[in-house]
Amino acid sequence: MPDELVHYAVSDYVATITLDSPHNRNALSQQLVGELFDRLERAGADDEVKVVLVRHAGKVFCSGADLSEATSVGMEEGAQRIVALQRLIATLDKPVVTRVAGAVRAGGIGIVAASDVAISADDATYALTEVKLGLAAAIISLTVHARMNPRAAALTTLGGEVFTGSQAAEYGLVTRAVPAADLDRAVAEVCAQLATGAAQGLRESKRVLNADLVLRIDALGAEMAALSARLFASDEAREAMTAFLNRKK
C-alpha cells in the first residue's frame, strides 16, 4: 500500500483533513476515498471536534476520478462510493468547510459542492471535464446541481471549460472567493466562527439546511451511480480516457 494519502489533525475544535496524493493529483482512488471516509467518520465521532476542514496539499485540490483505476477495474463500486462520500459530508453532524487553493476537476467538485461552506482562492480553477471524455457529471450532479444556479450548471457541464474561483462564487458553487493571499485567514475566520456554535445547534441546524439535499442524494444516487459506471465502461469513454492517460505520460 502507498503511504497515507489523507492526513488528520485536530486543533481549536477544528479537525483538519488534508488530501495528499501527489502522484495522481489527489485523484479519487480507492485508497484516497477510503481514507477520506475514515477521517470524516473519525471527526464525526470526536467530541472535541465542532468543525471539519477539508483542504489539500500541493497545487491540486482534486483531479476527479482516478482514470487509471477506472480503465482497469471499472467504476461500478467507485461511483457508488463517491455518492456515499457526498452523502457522508452532507449528513455529518458537524459543518464541513472546504478550502480550495488550486485546481478542482470533475469528481473533486462533488466534494466542494457537498460541503456546507466552501472558501476558494479567486484564481483557483474548476472544470466539469467529463463531457470531454464521453462521460457525464452524473454522480456529482447530486450536489453540484443543488448548489449552482441552473444556467451556470448547463454552461459548465455542457462546455467542460475552466472557470475561476470568482466565477464559482458567482455561480453558487462556492460560498466565497478571496485573493489567494487572504485564503488562510478567511478560512480560519470561518472555522472559528462556526466553532462558537453549540454541538446540538450545529447538528440540528445542518440537518434542516441539508434535508432537501439528502433527499435528492437518496432518490437519485443509485441511478446516477449506474449511469456513471455504464458511461465509464463504454468504448467511447475508454478510448478517450486511454488517450488522455497516454498524453500525460
Picking from 175, 249, 222, 225, the residue whose alpha carbon sits closest to that of residue 65 is: 225
Residue 1 predicted with pLDDT over 60: no
pLDDT of residue 2: 59
Q: What residue has cell string 476542514?
A: 53
CA 154 – CA 233 distance, rounded (Å) = 24
Q: What residue has cell string 466542494?
A: 112
Q: How confident is residue 75, by pLDDT bands cut at 50, 70 and 90? A: confident
Picking from 75, 57, 76, the residue whose alpha carbon sits closest to that of residue 65 is: 75
With beta carbons less than 8 A apart as the criterion, state whether 19 and 202 touch. no
Q: How confident is residue 249, by pLDDT bands cut at 50, 70 and 90? A: low
CA 215 – CA 20 distance, rounded (Å) = 31
Q: Which domains, and CATH codes, for the chain?
A: 6-194 (3.90.226.10)
Residue 167 predicted with pLDDT over 70: yes
The secondary structure element, H or E, covering residue 6 is strand 6-11
User: How does pLDDT run across 187-219, given as a tens digit for each residue?
Assistant: 999 999 999 999 999 999 999 999 999 999 999
With beta carbons less than 8 A apart as the criterion, state whether 88 and 129 touch. no
pLDDT of residue 246: 84
pLDDT of residue 69: 86
Which of 66-70, 76-80, 104-108 has the weakest average pLDDT?
66-70
The secondary structure element, H or E, covering residue 18 is strand 14-19
Quickly list DSSP for 111-164: HHHHSSEEEEETT-EEE-GGGGGT----TTHHHHHHHS-HHHHHHHHHH---EE
pTM of the model as a whole:
0.96
pLDDT of residue 80: 96
User: How does pLDDT run across 139-165, given as a tens digit for each residue?
Assistant: 999 999 999 999 999 999 999 999 999
In terms of DSSP bridges, do strands 163-164 and 125-127 run parallel, antiparallel, or are they unpaired? antiparallel
